[in-house]
Structure 1
Amino acid sequence: MTSPQAIAPAAGYAGDITPQQAWQWVQDGTAVLVDVRSSAELEWVGRVPNAAAVPWKQWPGMAMNPDFDAQLRAAVPQGQSVVLLCRSGVRSIAAAKRATELGLTAYNILEGFEGDPDDNGQRGRKGGWRFHGLPWRQG
Structure 2
Amino acid sequence: MRKEALAMHNLGTGTHIEAHFLNDLQLDPLQAWEWVQDGQAVIVDVRCPEERQWFSQVPGAVAIPLHCLKQLFGLDEGTSELSGDSLAPMERRALTARLLRHASAGDALLCFCARGDRSLEAAQLLRELGYERSYAISGGMHGWEQAGLPLLRPMDIC
Of 148, 152, 158, 1:133 maps to 148
Over 6 Å off, 4+ runs: none
Structure 2 SS opposite 1:136:
coil
Higher-strand-fraction structure: 1
Match of 2:39 among 20, 29, 34: 29
CA RMSD of aligned residues (A): 2.6
- Deviation of 1:5 after TM superposition, in Å, equals 2.8
Alignment match, 2:137: 109
Structure 2 gap segments, 5+ residues each: 1-9, 11-15, 69-78
Q: Distance in 1 between matches of 2:26 and 2:17?
A: 13
| Alignment match of 2:105 (pick from 78, 85, 98) | 78
Match of 1:3 in 2: 17
**How many pairs does the alignment contain?**
122
Q: Larger % of helix: which?
A: 2
Q: Distance in 2 between matches of 1:64 and 1:83?
A: 24
Alignment TM-score, normalising by the size of structure 2: 0.66
Specify the alignment match of 1:88 in structure 2.
115
**Mapped pair 1:61 → 2:81:** yes
Deviates more, 1:72-81 or 1:57-66: 57-66
Computing the radius of gyration from Cα coordinates, the structure with the larger value is 2
Q: Kindly tell me: are residues 18 and 96 of structure 1, through their superposed partners in 2, closer, same or farther at Cα, counting changes over 3 Å?
A: same
Residues 43 and 138 in structure 1, CA contact (< 8 A), matched pair in contact too: no
Query: Could you tell me which amino acid in structure 2 is paired with residue 53 of structure 1?
Result: A
